Structure 1
Amino acid sequence: MGSISLRNAGVIATEPLFSNLDIVIAEGDRLGLVAGNGRGKTTLLRAMAGIAELTTGDIVRSRGLTVGYVEQDMPKDSLGLTLRDAVLEALPEAERDYEAWRVEVALDEFETPAEMRDRLVGELSGGWQRIALIARTWVRQPDMLLLDEPTNHLDLTRLAQLERWLAGVSKSVPVVIASHDRQFLDNTTNRTLFLRPTESVTFALPFSRARIALAEADEAAEAQRERELKEAERLRKQAAKLTNIGINSGSDLLVVKSKYLRERAAKIEAAAAEVHRERSGEIRLVNAGAQAKVMLAFEDVEVASPDGRTLFRIDKLHVFQGDRVVLLGANGTGKSQLLKLVHRALGGETVQGLRTSPQAVCGYLDQALSLLPEKQTPTEVLQRFDIGDQRRRSLLAGAGFSVEQQARRVGQLSYGQQTRLGLLVLRLSEPNLYLLDEPTNHLDIPGQERLEDEIVSHGATCLLVSHDRSFVRGLGSRFLQIEGKRLREVVSPEGFFAAAGQRRAVIVTTR
């Protein structure tokens, strides 16, 4: 078995992403890599894979170690290939004829239906493209596996499938997983690395337990810092007193002693470690409020696919002000189509059987973040609101955008930054009814928790689609499940979660 050792590793972009990192990843390790958006997770994985450089320190790999790195996006040149050929492409060209059998084995491991293997990758859902990326890496039989946000776009069925697969894989190869999915990290890791600009911290625990240990360590560090600063303050006061006495009495000895005390205080202050604070940027929402009790009323409403196929029907449903409604269902059953239908109705389109409150003001965030023009900068995006240049700059800075990032085009920003910008646009739109389709896909963990707190604390009415189990449990007040082409209300999401874990994956295309 091989290993990777990082010694005094660090990367500086415009500021330090991480530094002084020492860690060994070896047999039996299933390491969860946790940090805020843009705080160095992908950079570290790329360095470990040998395709990026550290600013400081060294990476030492065992002799002959092969590292498999699963990136976040399928190469554009591969989108026109069939799924089978996209995986085959990952093998060295000289091996493709006699090693093609390995492609079928890899696809079998992910329970890929036979009829899907000849579909074009570009026609597959984001979830199946994610599986294709993992299969492309796994077919090369690496000695270590690095996964960058592997759960993005996966529905619960494939999430459970990936968790089962990783449980088997990790017995033979070490695995490093960068993810913002709290439940997934708990289910798949046994160590957690919290990546920080100065002192990164590692615990031999899965995420939730490691986070408790981290909070305790940070609390102890803060208490120690306060004690040190109080001691420094005491020494300075004592030095000032001795200085006055020494001057008044003409004692050079007391003056020298007071200087010594000030120097001691300065050393203590310099050594007192600043406790780490997450700097992901704030997420804030508003609830414009309404007098209406019922925000949406459905009666015999048909939800259809873009090509007109009936996906499911809603017999009768009222969404009341303050409801936080979570839509449950497998991929392709029509959750996103329902949000689009409601969005069109709130925009003035007549939808048979759907009544909307005249007081409803919609805030809609879809998975593609279509409210953000890719060629505009964040500053230009906010120019649709009459708030002034200074206010725009202040809001963007508060959301975590540096001056440089404010001038970049939206398409050049990270997915996490785009999501934060989208949420800022929603806030400035002052809605009282939120339609959120997978809003946590690219948000870091503090961002997810902040979004949850904002929706709950403002009493906002919300229709939500999410595969993030922790987010659903923390946010939902009502749960609607699509089953058998009908929408029915259930008491909790737990039955759906359990059933999804046992369900076999199905084919879903983007068309």
Structure 2
Amino acid sequence: MIRLDNISKHNGQRVIFIEASAALQKGEKVGLVGPNGAGKSTLFRMMTKQEEPDEGQVLVDRGVSVGFFSQDVGEMSGRSAVAEVMNGAGAVSEVAAELAVLEAAMADPEQYDQLESILERFGEVQARFEELGGYALDGKAREVLHGLGFSQAMMDGDVGNLSGGWKMRVALGRILLMRPDVMLLDEPSNHLDLESLIWLEQFLSGYDGALLMTSHDRAFMNRIINKVIEIDGGTLTSYSGDYEFYEQQRAISEKQQQAQFERQQAMLAKEVSFIERFKARASHAAQVQSRVKKLDKIDRVEPPKRRQAMSFEFPPAPRSGDVVASLQGVDKSYGSKVIYKGLDLLIRRGERCCIMGVNGAGKSTLLKLIAGTTQPDAGTVTIGSNVKMGYFAQHAMDVLDGSLTIFETLERAFPLANQGALRSLAGGFGFSGDEVEKSCRVLSGGEKARLVMALMLFDPPNFLVLDEPTNHLDIGTKEMLIKALANYEGTMLFVSHDRHFLAALSNRVLELSADGLHQYGGGYTEYVARTGQEAPGLH
């Protein structure tokens, strides 16, 4: 359906693709993977004809409809979320817009003298709307928005009043309702809570078109895709199978390439040694000459590309008392919305509690109460003895000073630390060499999140309170964080919509619901086994 034929692309001096080829066939669900900056977004822009390759061609089969979702959703306002989603459905959306205008005209006293002609036109437009399946479309649009977590009020309210994250869901809903022949989805799992993520997973699994997507959520990818296209070093390599299979195959081929490289290096060393040893002897001149020619003709095996693996190890944190945090009789409301009534909770040393609950259940509020950034309306929140807390808030990145570089930010936070320790801290979080001189102003969301983590973890707390720490992080950084936190000896309380992260790190589940707090011993995996669901809002 879409073919990339020997494409080459440069961005200034930087080579993004060199004679790369790949294809997206009917019914394929493909995960596009590769390190940050490898060219995933450039590939999407070429497939949607927003950019052209410098060489080669991008071929889209005639008559194939393509829907593209990117993180850059543009301006939205003046329409309801439902109307905005239906707007992507072609002719029917124009008819729906005219219907809305005519409905307003019928109710306008100033247009009363034209009522007859308005009614006549309304009848014509309404018939056309029915013919195009418009009324069914409204229902389908609401179904998609409901799946993406919208309440009825949000569906009918002005889309302009929504936050950036919710506008992204509207833009995603538009593509899903359109059901094109090919969907190109750039990070569709960003900004979704666990319930919406699982709904989207089921929707895409049942979608019968071709799909190409990127995602930092490995569990999400794993359940949808049946093929991987990897971008690395300007080339495109295809692997059949899901993400787990791709990782295994990549490791095997790296191992084989390394062994081939080492064998060739040993053979070359032997030949060079012979040439050096006998080049001055006339009796061996023919043999030496023959071996020199042989060496010139050999195709050199490249060693496998080594991806920079980030790793961070926690220095030991001071030991806290047995009781880390205690909430007794806590009430909390926002206006007329009651979040908790008489909430009791005890967190003990060494527990790794993940908090589950639908949107608005009070997950972030619980973390804010424990971190002391919000106060209860009644009851007490007590932090235990010798507890040193590290709090990662959802908007933690907003506190970075844009005028400072990464290294200056670390120096300001830890004035007594030596430069070597700070550079190794930065390296552990993926900022190596000159990257530490980057200004915080130009950092991506993922880079900012990594820097905030580094600031929080250098002088380790013994109680980590983390609100969606994996948002914006790529798969490699998440793996590093999981590895580091798995060896962390302190206590954790966290919210995350990443199932891989939840399963790897939790040993207790706190589920917030309308009828109070439900507690489950054992981690997220045990919670799923016991409740039969991956998230509280699924039925």
| TM-aligned CA deviation for residue 18 of structure 1 | 4.6
| TM-aligned CA deviation for residue 455 of structure 1 | 1.0
SS of 2:31's equivalent in the other structure is: strand
Which residue does the alignment assign to 1:44? 43
Report the CA distance shift for 1:366/1:423 in structure 2 as closer, same or farther (over 3 A): same
Which of 372, 375, 378 is 2:400 aligned to? 372
Q: Following the alignment from structure 1 to structure 2, what is the Cα–Cα distance between the partners of residues 79 and 374?
A: 30
SS of 1:50's equivalent in the other structure is: coil
Spell out, residue by residue over 1:304-355, the C-alpha distance to the aligned partner (whole angstroms, 9 max, x if none): 35548442354241230x332211222221111122222227x999995332
Which of 290, 297, 306 is 1:277 aligned to? 306
CA contact (8 A) 1:161 1:501 kept: no
Which residue does the alignment assign to 1:289? 317
Spell out, residue by residue over 1:138-172, the C-alpha distance to the aligned partner (whole angstroms, 9 max, x if none): 45553210111111222222122112211222x1x
User: TM-score scaled to structure 2, two decimals?
Assistant: 0.80
Amino acid at match of 2:255: E
Q: Following the alignment from structure 1 to structure 2, what is the Cα–Cα distance between the partners of residues 264 and 359?
A: 70
Answering whether residue 370 of structure 2 is matched by residue 332 of structure 1, we say: no
| TM-aligned CA deviation for residue 441 of structure 1 | 2.0
Which residue does the alignment assign to 1:137? 175
Larger radius of gyration: 2
Which residue does the alignment assign to 1:343? 371
Q: Following the alignment from structure 2 to structure 1, what is the Cα–Cα distance between the partners of residues 538 and 252?
A: 41
Report the CA distance shift for 1:115/1:316 in structure 2 as closer, same or farther (over 3 A): closer
Spell out, residue by residue over 1:393-431, the C-alpha distance to the aligned partner (whole angstroms, 9 max, x if none): 665466444777655553532222222222222233433
CA contact (8 A) 1:68 1:144 kept: yes
Spell out, residue by residue over 1:76-118, the C-alpha distance to the aligned partner (whole angstroms, 9 max, x if none): x216653124335546799623578345533334435543312
Amino acid at match of 1:431: P
CA contact (8 A) 2:32 2:231 kept: yes
Q: Following the alignment from structure 1 to structure 2, what is the Cα–Cα distance between the partners of residues 348 and 390?
A: 40
Q: Bigger shift: 233-242 or 488-497?
A: 488-497
Spell out, residue by residue over 1:441-475, the C-alpha distance to the aligned partner (whole angstroms, 9 max, x if none): 22221211110111112324322211111111112
| TM-aligned CA deviation for residue 492 of structure 1 | 3.5
Amino acid at match of 1:278: R
Runs of at least 5 residues in structure 2 that lack an aligned partner in the other structure: 98-128
Which residue does the alignment assign to 1:509? none
Which residue does the alignment assign to 1:8? 6
Which residue does the alignment assign to 2:246? 210
Q: Following the alignment from structure 1 to structure 2, what is the Cα–Cα distance between the partners of residues 503 and 440?
A: 21
Q: Following the alignment from structure 2 to structure 1, what is the Cα–Cα distance between the partners of residues 461 and 404?
A: 23
Amino acid at match of 1:153: H
Q: Bigger shift: 300-309 or 176-185?
A: 300-309
Which residue does the alignment assign to 1:200? 236
Which residue does the alignment assign to 1:148? 186
Q: Following the alignment from structure 1 to structure 2, what is the Cα–Cα distance between the partners of residues 284 and 4?
A: 41
Which residue does the alignment assign to 2:524? 493
Amino acid at match of 1:450: M
Runs of at least 5 residues in structure 1 that lack an aligned partner in the other structure: 506-511
Q: Following the alignment from structure 2 to structure 1, what is the Cα–Cα distance between the partners of residues 162 and 510?
A: 26
Which residue does the alignment assign to 2:22? 23
- Identity in percent: 27
Which residues in structure 2 correspond to 1:447-486 (within 5 Å)? 447-483=477-513, 484-486=515-517
Q: Following the alignment from structure 1 to structure 2, what is the Cα–Cα distance between the partners of residues 493 and 334?
A: 19
SS of 2:174's equivalent in the other structure is: helix
CA contact (8 A) 2:328 2:343 kept: yes
| TM-aligned CA deviation for residue 31 of structure 1 | 0.4
Which residues in structure 2 correspond to 1:371-410 (within 5 Å)? 371-374=399-402, 376-385=404-413, 386=415, 387=417, 396=426, 399-401=429-431, 406=436, 409-410=439-440
Q: Bigger shift: 105-114 or 468-477?
A: 105-114
Report the CA distance shift for 1:438/1:113 in structure 2 as closer, same or farther (over 3 A): closer
Answering whether residue 201 of structure 2 is matched by residue 163 of structure 1, we say: yes
Which of 227, 236, 251 is 1:191 aligned to? 227
Which of 238, 252, 256 is 1:220 aligned to? 256
The answer to which structure, 1 or 2, has the higher relative contact order (CA under 8 A, 6+ apart) is 1
CA contact (8 A) 1:37 1:417 kept: no
Report the CA distance shift for 1:43/1:323 in structure 2 as closer, same or farther (over 3 A): farther
Amino acid at match of 2:46: A
Q: Following the alignment from structure 1 to structure 2, what is the Cα–Cα distance between the partners of residues 82 and 375?
A: 39
Q: Bigger shift: 115-124 or 222-231?
A: 115-124
Q: Following the alignment from structure 1 to structure 2, what is the Cα–Cα distance between the partners of residues 301 and 272?
A: 68
CA contact (8 A) 1:432 1:461 kept: yes
Q: Following the alignment from structure 1 to structure 2, what is the Cα–Cα distance between the partners of residues 295 and 121?
A: 45
CA contact (8 A) 2:38 2:234 kept: no
Report the CA distance shift for 1:240/1:468 in structure 2 as closer, same or farther (over 3 A): same
Which residue does the alignment assign to 1:108? 143
Kindly tell me the number of residue pairs found equivalent between the two proteins: 490
Report the CA distance shift for 1:462/1:56 in structure 2 as closer, same or farther (over 3 A): farther
Answering whether residue 338 of structure 2 is matched by residue 300 of structure 1, we say: no
Spell out, residue by residue over 1:471-504, the C-alpha distance to the aligned partner (whole angstroms, 9 max, x if none): 1111222222223222423433244584356946
Answering whether residue 386 of structure 2 is matched by residue 359 of structure 1, we say: yes
Answering whether residue 82 of structure 2 is matched by residue 84 of structure 1, we say: yes
| TM-aligned CA deviation for residue 283 of structure 1 | 4.8
| TM-aligned CA deviation for residue 32 of structure 1 | 0.9
SS of 1:78's equivalent in the other structure is: coil
Q: Following the alignment from structure 2 to structure 1, what is the Cα–Cα distance between the partners of residues 384 and 289?
A: 73
Q: Bigger shift: 31-40 or 254-263?
A: 254-263
Amino acid at match of 1:136: R
Report the CA distance shift for 1:264/1:481 in structure 2 as closer, same or farther (over 3 A): farther
Q: Following the alignment from structure 1 to structure 2, what is the Cα–Cα distance between the partners of residues 5 and 18?
A: 15
